[in-house]
Amino acid sequence: MSGQLTGQRAFITGGASGIGAEMARRFTREGASVVIADVNDTLGKAIAVEVGGEYVHLDVTDSTAWEKIITTHKPFDIVCLNAGVATKTDVFGATVDYPFQHLDNDSYQHIMSINVDGVVFGARAVIPGMVERRSGHILVTASLAGIVAIAADPIYGLTKHAMVGLTKSLGAALEPHGVCVSALCPAFLDTPLLSDNTRKNLSLLDLGIMDVSIAGDLAMRALTERVSGSQWIVMDGQSISQYIPAAPFA
């Protein structure tokens, strides 16, 4: 590895598994020191031991917990707001006749609190220090579902479209302060979010599942390019690229 992150400190929510764990591994190989945050203490501590980092228990929906962690740790150069869930485990496997058929209030509040509130609370906690230092990079884990339609789980799509919109707006607002905000928008990665039934259905639809190591490549591309407000996409069999939508105004 190139050691591109030597001397930097990274904080990763949802770091106990999937994309978060992979970013922890990659950032460590690139020379960063990593703090992993999660609610799964067993897996989180195991990843921290694996990468030689630190683990903290964090419920991202608890704004008070965010403030305590940020004020009791040294400043972070990279903050990955990665923790996220879907409304159900079988995104492409559950049988429904129409959207929201099985969406109860608890399921709705659960996904919104983690996927939206958790990111907003995290950004709110770290932005003041980054602005004061005039440096820092916030990586928001969105999804390709934040750019295209996902009929199988419209609320998941809602939360990820929200993350893309938040990234665009925060990026524009924070760029003059020396702070960069980027969104990671991968297609299907081999993570615990995909159930066995979903994997089978994706195979039937000829939709490939990428190795989770791609998440590290995607994050490093965003960190290297440092384009504030940008969205970085990757699909099976294709190269990582910046998604640039057509401008609505001529």
DSSP 83-144: ----SSS-TTT---SSTTTT--HHHHHHHHIIIIIHHHHHHHHHHHHHHHHT--EEEEE--G
* Residue 98 falls in the annotated catalytic set: no
First to last CA, the chain: 43
CA distances from 105 to 62, 66, 111, 112, 153 (A): 19, 25, 10, 11, 15
DSSP state letter for 189? B
Which residue, among 190, 182, 167, has the nearest Cα to 220 in the 3D structure?
A: 182
Q: Of 55, 98, 108, 156, which one is the catalytic site residue?
A: 156
d(CA 33, CA 11): 9
Residues classed as catalytic:
156
